[in-house]
Amino acid sequence: MSEDKPIDVALLRKLSPFEGMKKDNLDALARKIVLSKLPANRVLFKEGDKEKRSYWLLSGLLELREGDRTVAMIRAGSPEARNALAQQLPRKFSARAVDPIEYLAIDSEVLDMMITWDQTGSYEVTELQARLGGGAGDDWMTTLLQTQAFQRIPPANIQAIFMRMQRVSSRAGETVIQQGSEGDFFYAIVSGKCLVTRETPISRSGLKLAELGVGDTFGEEALISEAKRNATVTMLTDGVLMRLNKADFRALMNEPLVQWLSYPQARELVAKGAKWLDVRLPSEHQNLAIEGSLNIPLYFVRLKISTLNRAAKYITYCDTGRRSSAAAFILMERGFDAYVLRGGLDSAERDVRRSV
């Protein structure tokens, strides 16, 4: 059972690897750690588990077992309990609570990202907050840092991203991005909410695509695809945005993230269960498409993202790679394993289905 009380930073200092972290970075990380309880004779994790989660024992006695054999008894406060429990994946041991126990848990990828940030970044959370003018918390930063997309960006790039972002205050009702305009900035929401809409021939007032909040980002599609803005973003409330210009976005975020595949590599992934995702218009898909592909136009990806299987790998494609790389970026930002077909449809001639 999770507790709602904050984690004591002094307690974290007694555990590895938290003892060497900078105070403000540790304060931010502490808000991402969960304190939980487990009754006696319940299993914390099982041998063979692959979940990327790190655990520390705070109270009680824990048994580690390999098959039917007990390999260790770990008591809270002991030297062994300073370290995360059985970190290697897949787990080599099962962990069972002998007594009722308390333990800490955190996503291992988030932990590694924050420690890397702490050790390589010269700017701490409070220094970054000061650059915002003191009006916004660090939730947006820690939210971005724990996304799968940011976990793939080199730490030096992350530091540069935060240093080069500009703070923009916006009023409710203000248009941040206008459909049909040139792409110039990538945005992250520090405070407030935004509405994403798209004007269509049958909906001149705009079809609602998404409602965005703190930590959400937008504006990447036009920067990646070199196309006009495909939607309008309006402030629903007063808020603060951080923006990164096009050149910095492409160099620091897009290039490290995009995972390109040749057609033979893509076919190998599909044979193992990956799915083709065509992000062109329905009319284009009907005329020419890779056999068995799913069609979600780029401007609908945000709206339809909940219909996709997070356990699946997706290989996005279009004619050239511009739209598909933008779609893959959106998917990766939201935790999907996404790739881009290099060369687009021309490289996939053998599997292309034609309407005539």
The tokens for 292 are 């068995």
* Residue 343 and residue 321 in contact, taking contact as beta carbons nearer than 8 Å: yes
pTM of the model: 0.58
pLDDT at residue 152, rounded to an integer: 74
Minimum mean pLDDT range among 5-9, 270-274, 277-281 = 5-9
Q: How far apart are CA 209 and CA 199, in angstroms?
A: 10
121-255 and 258-354 share one fold? no
Q: How far apart are CA 242 and CA 189, in angstroms?
A: 6
DSSP assignment of 333-351 equals: HTT-EEEEETTGGGGGGGG
> Residue 132 — φ and ψ, nearest 5°?
-80, -10
Q: What is the pLDDT of residues 295-327, one digit of tens each?
A: 999 888 888 888 999 999 999 999 888 889 888
DSSP label at 272?
T
* Residue 289 and residue 324 in contact, taking contact as beta carbons nearer than 8 Å: no
Domain boundaries in the chain?
9-107, 121-255, 258-354
- Considering only CA atoms, give the Rg of the chain: 23
Residue from 329, 319, 316 nearest 274 by CA: 316
Residue from 170, 302, 168 nearest 244 by CA: 168
The Cα-based distances of 292 to 218, 260, 288, 338 in angstroms read 30, 20, 12, 17
Domain 121-255 sits in CATH at: 2.60.120.10
pLDDT reading at 135 higher than 50 = no
Question: Reading across the β-sheet that carries 337-341, which strands appear in turn?
Answer: 260-261, 337-341, 313-317, 275-278, 294-295
Task: Name the H helices within the chain.
Answer: 9-12, 23-30, 108-120, 125-131, 139-145, 148-151, 155-164, 220-225, 246-249, 255-257, 263-271, 282-287, 301-304, 322-333
- Per DSSP, the three-state class of 118 is helix
Q: Is 31 or 42 the better-scoring residue by pLDDT?
A: 42
Q: Could you identify the residue written with the tokens 């848990």?
A: 105
* Residue 291 and residue 218 in contact, taking contact as beta carbons nearer than 8 Å: no
Q: How confident is the model at residue 87 (pLDDT cuts 50, 70, 90)?
A: confident
Q: How far apart are CA 14 and CA 8, in angstroms?
A: 11
pLDDT reading at 74 higher than 60 = yes
Tell me the longest C-alpha to C-alpha distance in the chain. 72
Question: Reading across the β-sheet that carries 34-38, which strands appear in turn?
Answer: 34-38, 101-107, 53-59
> Residue 266 — φ and ψ, nearest 5°?
-65, -40
Task: Assess if CATH 2.40.40.20 describes domain 9-107.
Answer: no
Q: Could you identify the residue written with the tokens 């996939």?
A: 348
Average pLDDT value over all residues in the chain? 84
Instruction: Provide the phi-psi class of 139: left if phi over 0, else alpha when psi is between -120 and 50, else beta.
Output: alpha
Q: What is the pLDDT of residues 10-26, one digit of tens each?
A: 889 899 888 878 787 78
Task: Assess if CATH 3.40.250.10 describes domain 258-354.
Answer: yes
Q: What is the pLDDT of residues 171-218, one digit of tens each?
A: 999 999 999 999 899 998 988 999 999 887 776 677 888 899 988 889
